Amino acid sequence: MANVPQDLKYTKEHEYIKESGEAGVYIVGITDYAQGELGDVVFVELPKPGSRYEAHQTFGTIEAVKAVSDLYMPIAGEVVESNAALDANPAVVNSDPYGEGWMIKVRVDGPLSGDLLDAAAYTSLIGG
């Protein structure tokens, strides 16, 4: 059973967002379910700080032994930081997707969109 923290918001594409502790800035990564479906992560391509994206736009890719998948922005905003540690150790996405395996930090353009899922809705989506 996938780990679905109650305090996060989720997308139907299996990204999560969580508060960073800085007003208007959120941490984005892939869910425990997503990393489990991908298998061993071997490479992550992330955007440079200053890049701007609309909600649902592709912001990078994640490559595992068995597949390459796009990463989708859950919210509109500007990337303020990418997790450079993933360059040297992308497998941390598998071992700690909600902690050290985060991908980007985003300063949002406005309020969070209404199409984000709470933990119960995401659990239902993945068949939990």
The 10s digit of each residue's pLDDT in 48-95 is 999 999 999 999 999 999 889 999 999 999 999 999 999 999 999 999
Around Cβ 23, how many Cβ atoms within 10 Å? 8
Q: Do the domain assignments include residue 65?
A: yes
Q: Do the domain assignments include residue 1?
A: no
pTM of the model: 0.95
Q: Do the domain assignments include residue 3?
A: no
Q: How confident is the model at residue 112 (pLDDT cuts 50, 70, 90)?
A: confident
- Cβ–Cβ under 8 Å, residues 95 and 115: no
Q: Do the domain assignments include residue 104?
A: yes
CATH number at residue 118: 2.40.50.100
Q: Do the domain assignments include residue 2?
A: no
| Contacts with 70 (C-beta within 8 Å, 6 or more apart), sequence order | 58, 60, 61
CA 62 to the chain's CA centroid = 11
Look at residue 60 and give its three-state secondary structure.
strand
Residue-number span of the structural domain to which 30 is assigned: 9-125
Count of the separate structural domains present in the chain: 1
- Only one residue has tokens 């353009």, namely 109
- Only one residue has tokens 């609309």, namely 54
